[in-house]
Amino acid sequence: MESHHNKTMIKIIPAIDIIEGKCVRLTQGDYAQKKIYNENPLEVAKEFEASGIKYLHLVDLDGAKSNGIVNWKVLNEISTKTNLKIDFGGGIKSDKDLEIAFENGATQLNIGSTAVKDKNLFLNWLQKYGSDKIILSADVKNEEIAVNGWQENSGINIFSFINDYLANGINHVVCTDVSKDGTLQGTSVVLYQRIMEQFPDIKLVASGGISVIEDIEELLHMPIYGVIIGKAIYENRIQLKDLKKFL
């Protein structure tokens, strides 16, 4: 066995995406390309926990499409019936949404669209809850920030977006390459490398395209904070037992 002296250097964060209370996956953010994997997300979360995983990326896809959080009951159930630390996103548009999410057990919140569209509101939340609770969620298409369930490009460059919020105290960033997400075609190593070179102090979580264990190992070469894994787990490309060496 080779030694994995750096195994604790990356957080393994499996994803559960929710539509109508069920665990689903999309391909490239397309709701028409939806596949249901489990009617009961709590079962999935318990399976993750049983395999030694400590973190969960929970996305309310109904919320992302509407004007606020929809599937808060799923968040509540997973947070009360497991010890997973949950970062939650999808539909966080108002002060009330943040209250609902934290009241129902979210450890951190992923905020994307509001960070693009209403900087002052986002900065208010950052100030109120602190940089360990608020994650800047950057969805990227050709190095530009994509918003509204990725249907539109904002024209904002990813590097200036991060730089701007870094100056305002952001610490945690989740970066999803939209073109890779749900495709099982490998991750955007070059993009993440460039982000880490430019912003060595941020806690960057890579998301989108992870398909095999080697994709995770490739990320270990840069000081990346964590990795979100979705479809690869559900399609059995990556077994939970194979993730043990990183835990």
Alpha-carbon separation of residue 215 from 140, 222, 243 (angstroms) = 19, 12, 12
- Residues whose CB falls within 8 Å of the CB of residue 37, separated by 6 or more in sequence, listed in order: 23, 24, 25, 44, 234
CA angle at residue 31 from 84 to 116, to 5 degrees? 70
Alpha-carbon separation of residue 79 from 36, 54, 133 (angstroms) = 22, 12, 16
* Cβ contact 86:107 at 8 Å: yes
Answer yes or no: 87 catalytic.
Answer: no
* Cβ contact 224:197 at 8 Å: no
Answer yes or no: 139 catalytic.
Answer: yes
Catalytic residue, candidates 17, 87, 97, 181: 17
Rounded Cα–Cα distance for residues 121 and 170 (Å): 14
Catalytic residue, candidates 60, 97, 139, 181: 139
Active site residues: 17, 139
